[in-house]
A and B are shown apart, each in its own frame.
Chain A
């Protein structure tokens, strides 16, 4: 089982991952996964509550913002020719 970057989130992450993989393989891939409001939604919320704190603590939220900025630049330069 893959770990979370924040060990304190491992348990909620594992519950969500298991749910997601089951939903993905049994519903989404069969064309039945139309909405966000699926059986994993509440587990995802729990998981994010834990994870978002960890991302802030480790300053990964800043890295994410930079990456979003950077990918805007990248797209303007490299996707122009399309």
Chain B
């Protein structure tokens, strides 16, 4: 089963600035106080498609785990790794098309997947959703004249606990029924949907925080350019940047 949750929002900032804020949102807790749970951010892929001019970026974020403690308590320590594993890796893929004025992003957890897979898909656009459908017909108002950016966010929650695939992933040494022999059939289904709904109940809170974080970055970018923002952050950390 998959539980999904979609929300729409608009930022009162132009599309290019919003995409920049997306890349900057975990840059520093000084820039975004809601990013204190992000321990590290790394880029593993970045390229521009020469045909389309689209920018493809893949990043890995290490976050203090947001796996709700109610779920952790449901699970045997063989799955959670005891109290030790408190952080999770998140894989983030994004595509920016600056010509067409849209950005698509998708983030998913890399560990704990034997328990719960959370995917956050976002679609940012310089065009409001109701106009997007017939934008091919209406002669383009230059998109970047738009002072706003629209974003639709969909969270999907899928618990694979007790399924064959999850068994394979976490219990390779147990060859008979997997480590999840203790939950099977309808029991497993019930636990799976509990996990999905506990996790999805956290969504609203999470969306508000990430939105507020984006807004703080956007405000900083509005009053200063990115270079000034970075210089200020680095000055506070006692480093110089762009000195060359």
> 11 other contacts beyond A5-B60, A24-B23, A36-B50, with CB at 8 A cut-off?
A2-B27, A4-B40, A5-B40, A5-B62, A6-B42, A26-B227, A33-B55, A63-B89, A63-B110, A67-B108, A70-B117
List chain A positions with a Cβ less than 8 A from chain B.
1-6, 9, 13, 16-18, 20-22, 24-26, 28-29, 31, 33-36, 44, 47-48, 51, 55, 60, 63-64, 66-67, 70-71, 74, 78
Q: Which 7 A-B pairs have the closest CB atoms?
A: A5-B40, A63-B110, A29-B16, A2-B41, A25-B226, A3-B40, A36-B47
CB–CB B91/A51 < 8 A: no
Name the B residues within 8 Å of A51 (CB-CB).
42, 44
CB of B53 within 8 A of chain A? yes
Q: Is B233 on the interface with A (CB-CB < 8 A)? A: yes
Contact check: which of A22, A66, A78 meets B227 at CB < 8 Å? A22
Minimum C-beta distance from A60 to chain B (A): 6
Which residues does chain A contribute within 8 Å of B75, judged by CB atoms? none
Write the B89-119 contact mask toward A (1 if CB under 8 angstroms, else 0): 1010000101100000000101101000101
Q: A-B pairs with CB below 8 Å: how many?
A: 102
A2-B110 in contact (CB<8A)? no
- Is A31 touching B237 in the complex (CB atoms < 8 A)? no
Q: How far is the CA of A7 from the CA of B82 in the complex (A)?
A: 25
Residue pair A48, B50 in contact (C-beta under 8 Å): no
Residue of A nearest to B27 (CB): A2
Pairwise interchain contact B42-A13, C-beta atoms closer than 8 A: yes
Return B17 CB to nearest CB of chain A, in Å. Answer: 8
| B interface residues with partner A (beta carbon < 8 Å) | 2, 16, 19-20, 23-24, 26-28, 38-44, 46-48, 50, 53, 55, 60, 62, 89, 91, 96, 98-99, 108, 110-111, 113, 117, 119, 169, 225-227, 230, 233-234, 237, 239, 241-242
Given known pairs A2-B28, A28-B98, the reply for A71 and B108 (CB within 8 Å) is: yes
A66:B53 contact, CB within 8 angstroms: no
Chain B proximity of A77: nearest CB distance (Å): 9
Q: Chain B contacts of A25 at CB under 8 A?
A: 20, 225-227
